[in-house]
Amino acid sequence: MPSKLPLEGIKVADFSTQVVGPLTTKYLADCGAEVIKVESMYALDLIRVTIPFKDGIVHPDRSYGFPRLHTDKYGVSLDLKHPKGPEIAKRLAAWADVVIESFTPGVMKRRGLDYEEIKKVKPDIIMLSTSNQGQTGRYGTHPGWGFQTLALAGFTHFTGWADREPVGIPSAYTDYLAPQFAVIAILAAINYKRRTGKGQYIDLSQLEVGLLFLATALLDYSSNSIEQTRCGNLSSYAVPHNAYCCKGEDRWCAIAVTNKNEWKTFCQILGEPEWSKDDKFSTPLNRKRNEAELDRLVEGCTLNFTAEEVMVLMQSKGVAAGVVKSNKDMWTDPQLRHRDHWPLAPPHPVLGSLRCPLPPYKLSKTPAGIRMPGPCLGQHNEYIYSDVLGFSNEEFVKLLNEGVFK
């Protein structure tokens, strides 16, 4: 008989939207936790109305993005603004071990669903709130999006070239970093609860998560009063260090040379061109001083090969190199296919069969798997409210007719 998944028996009420909260609960669900996603047609999760859509038709159940973040979850609809909505939410919290929400700080309190209120119906509840800058402090109540958080955390300042404006990152980067820490915090709270019988509140700041990934820049200022800025693809310790154009349309390979042995090997791979023997490139300091010229000369060589050929040639001799991959490259990547990173999920009621990502780790005894597709809006209302929460048929129908489940 196969081993149980590691988080079987853990029950999660998920009131979060977009990426941070849903990706957190996806990791929990894929490892066996029973997760109920709560949403409303009056306040749709924005991922439901984000491209791409099946056949180009805009509809909450036709976005490909939503089910990829919600595999192995049940889905219910509940209007928290309805007078009866918060009381039903509390019944769901009473069932759960963990409650997760990602509203602007203050929203749950105004609806009577903050930690202090939920504790009254479930004293040992674990509750996690994720927001841009935490729940308290001068800016705690500021609403925001991932792109803003990137700027506040400093990423935008460092992204781009020294002689140009900041370009930012075309993704809500911290939205994909924060779930790793959210999961750790939840598991720590579960362990604490098992030892003490007590729950607790977790206040996750996405801004503070972002700062962890700029630690060296912060250390440089705190220790040396040096304010770093944009430097393109350049490095303070490696040269050459750039993405070099290769044969084909918009094909590139990133290369990093960090010491004299790698430089010698690098030159041998390129056929020891005459310029590699020039004094202006003889030491790391000289190469750094003449870096722009060096980059042009290197690219003159890489243009004769495909990006894959450059990567293999460099890696085979111990020089760090990697193809700059497109979304097509990632989808067909043989290593990811080997690890079954995108298994075929059970058919979605509207979208049919599609591939959804697994967590990026493999547990040897209890590997994660996708057991259910992401839910349609309100797909499991009757099952969750009647069978799980114990609503009578009369109560369920009455609330349904009153519009509570919209």
pLDDT digits (tens, 9 = 90+) for 212-260: 999 999 999 999 999 999 999 999 899 999 999 999 999 999 999 999 9
Residue closest to 262 by CA, chosen among 244, 241, 235, 290: 241
Exposure pattern of 312-336 as b/e (b: 16+ CB <10 Å)? Answer: ebbeeeebebbbbeeeeeeeeeeee
Phi-psi category of residue 13: left, alpha or beta, with phi > 0 → left and psi -120 to 50 → alpha: beta
pLDDT given at position 39: 96
Terminal-residue alpha carbon distance, the chain: 41
Residue closest to 93 by CA, chosen among 395, 397, 388: 388
State the catalytic residues.
Answer: 175
pTM, two decimals, is: 0.91
Distance CA 386, CA 398 (A): 12
Query: What string of pLDDT tens digits covers the 406 residues of the chain?
Result: 346 899 999 999 999 999 999 999 999 999 999 999 999 999 899 999 999 999 999 999 999 999 999 999 999 999 999 999 999 999 999 999 999 999 999 999 999 999 999 999 999 999 999 999 999 999 988 888 888 888 998 999 999 999 999 988 878 889 999 999 999 999 999 999 999 999 999 999 999 999 999 999 999 999 999 999 999 999 989 999 999 999 999 999 999 999 999 999 999 999 999 999 999 999 999 999 999 999 999 999 999 999 999 999 999 999 999 999 999 999 999 999 999 999 999 999 999 999 999 989 999 999 888 999 999 999 999 999 999 999 999 999 999 999 999 9
Q: Hunting for tokens 């900041």 — which residue is that?
A: 166
Residues in a beta bridge with 352? 348
pLDDT given at position 1: 38
Please list, in sequence order, all residues whose beta carbon lies within 8 angstroms of the beta carbon of residue 314, skipping any fewer than 6 positions away. Answer: 253, 255, 266, 269, 320, 321
pLDDT given at position 129: 97
352, with CB counted inside 10 A (0-12, 13-18, 19+), is exposed
